[in-house]
Chain A
Amino acid sequence: MAKQEIEYRAPATNWQTRGFWEGCGRGELVLQRCGDCGTVQHKPRGICASCLSSALEHFVACGRGRVYTYTVTHQNNMPGFRDACPYVLAYVDLEEGPRLMTQVAGCEPDAVEIGMAVKADFVDTGDGLGVPRFVPA
């Protein structure tokens, strides 16, 4: 069977995380910054995980980063992924500091390298939400 595209489903959200996924729906990578200690954090939380302040603000990150590590997935038996192998699972270090688990798309899996410059790209999952992937910058 020919390789299929991954079937991205709309992410499950709650009030703490919805801002991130709504940002992805607009094509923006949204991170949290603490208004008290200045720490930038990901994943989003309802509290600053550095100083326990509630004074969090959201901001739009530049969307650029570098591949920290990756793996080309050749077998995943979950529906939605089973026929989409091979695909690249990766960690990307963002310019603002945090690291995201994500995928690298937009190039052959074998072309991905650690340290490669990448930029965010978004898949619309409907309902105003999206999922971020990264493509070569």
Chain B
Amino acid sequence: MTLSGQIAIAGAYEHPTRFAPDKSESLIMAESARGALEEAGLRLADVDGLFAAGISMGPMGVVNLAEYLNIKPRYLDGTNIGGSSFVAHVSHAAAAIHAGLCEVALILYGSTAASSAMAIGTGLGGGGRDPEAAFVAPYGMTTVGSYALVARRHMHLYGTTPEQLAEIAVTMRQHASLNPEAKMQKRIDVADVLESRMISTPLHLLDCCIISDGGGAVIVTSLERARDLKQPPIVLRGCGEAVCHQEIGSPDLLTIAAKQSSEEAFAMSGLSHDDVDLCTIYDSFTITLLVTLENLGFCKPGEGGAFVEAGRIGLSGALPVNPDGGGLSSNHPGMRGIFLVIEAARQLRGGMGERQVDGAEVALVHGTGGTLGAIHSGATLLLSRD
């Protein structure tokens, strides 16, 4: 029996903070839980499934979180597959609810990546004393560098230009300028991106996501129950997960996990690409968004550069992407997947003011976790109005 059309998002709350030196990860998660429960019309006692991942959460993290929240859920899931974790949590929660193992699933993320001065982009590039990591550690692969390897290959094969990548950063900033909570709201142009400092060729500073604090909460329950709650239910139509790595030979670096996970999600949903009104896509770097659009099937391999030109992924374009401004401009507290789910749900509910995508009925959510050029996960959701 299919999951499609049975499960809904009943709460989607983004913590407004972008810098919270006075808070802990757990506190940001708890405040986010309060926000999502309030808007859904639920109480903490209604939660019987807890899902969470975090940068500094250990193997027992979700258990410790249950203690912090003083709840005793009957279903626990601490799956951590990188920044896409929370997208996967939605499908894991759906499966658990569908199987009767829980009824109200609370998905949480919180992070103080900025106020703790975590150098996510270029501070992890080497070192580590794990024998498995030794095949990367000596070479100084930064997070940015791993994505830059993909960008260089794409440029080589298809002639994709720095200007086309920059166009993505410009569009995300336009969206962020309409989001009062976005960290970076001042508009930029292509020249600003190209003149910003080179981090790892061909990626400039403004090709890279920002680092912020933040967090959020998502509540998943049965569609039947969601219809009795305060918000319009956002229905899960399809989902999929995948992993990509270097295998033991020479795989194509431009075929990413999004291909497999989105094919699963589309097949489950019965929807087609033409049905999708907007996307929320993990934009850790400009190249991430470009190569994800190709692998999701919105354009052919190699056509991503032309696809993102001329405002096609802007709010008034044919396929608006990340109306909130994404990780490039709104917020990026280390693992951004939860905001992809939240913004998609909010857009489908409507009423997002200047950044509302008109007539949004169907949204595709895709999160990438890990490092695109080395090893990464992907998780896709297709969501719709009830």
Interface residues of A (CB under 8 A from B): 6, 8-9, 11-14, 16-17, 21, 39-43, 49-50, 68-81, 84, 87, 89-91, 93, 97-103, 114, 131
Contacts and interface: CB of A to CB of B under 8 A. Distances in A.
A99 B373 CA distance: 12
The 7 closest A-B pairs by CB, nearest first: A71-B148, A41-B248, A69-B153, A11-B134, A76-B125, A14-B131, A72-B201
B133 interface: yes
B211 to A, nearest CB: 13
Chief secondary structure at chain B's binding surface: loop
Nearest to A43: B135
B199 interface: yes
Contacts of B203: 71
Contacts of B135: 17, 43, 100-101
A89 B125 CA distance: 11
Contact of A78 (B127, B148, B246): B127
B122 A69 contact: no
B250 A89 contact: no
B101 interface: no
9 contacts: A9-B138, A17-B134, A42-B248, A75-B144, A76-B126, A77-B122, A78-B140, A102-B139, A131-B138
Given A71-B200, A73-B200, A91 B138 contact: no
A98 B250 contact: yes
A69 B156 contact: yes
Contacts of A13: 131, 134
Interface of B: 119, 122-142, 144-145, 148-153, 156, 197-203, 246, 248-251, 253, 373-374
Nearest to A84: B140
Contacts of A17: 131-132, 134-135
Contacts of B373: 69, 91
Nearest to A125: B138
Given A12-B130, A13-B134, A78 B249 contact: no
A8 B138 contact: yes
B274 to A, nearest CB: 33
Contacts of A93: 250
A45 B293 CA distance: 34
Contacts of B127: 9, 78-80
Contacts of A103: 139-140
A87 B138 contact: no
A114 B140 contact: no
B248 A50 contact: yes
Given A91-B373, A101-B246, 4 more contacts: A21-B134, A68-B250, A71-B202, A99-B249
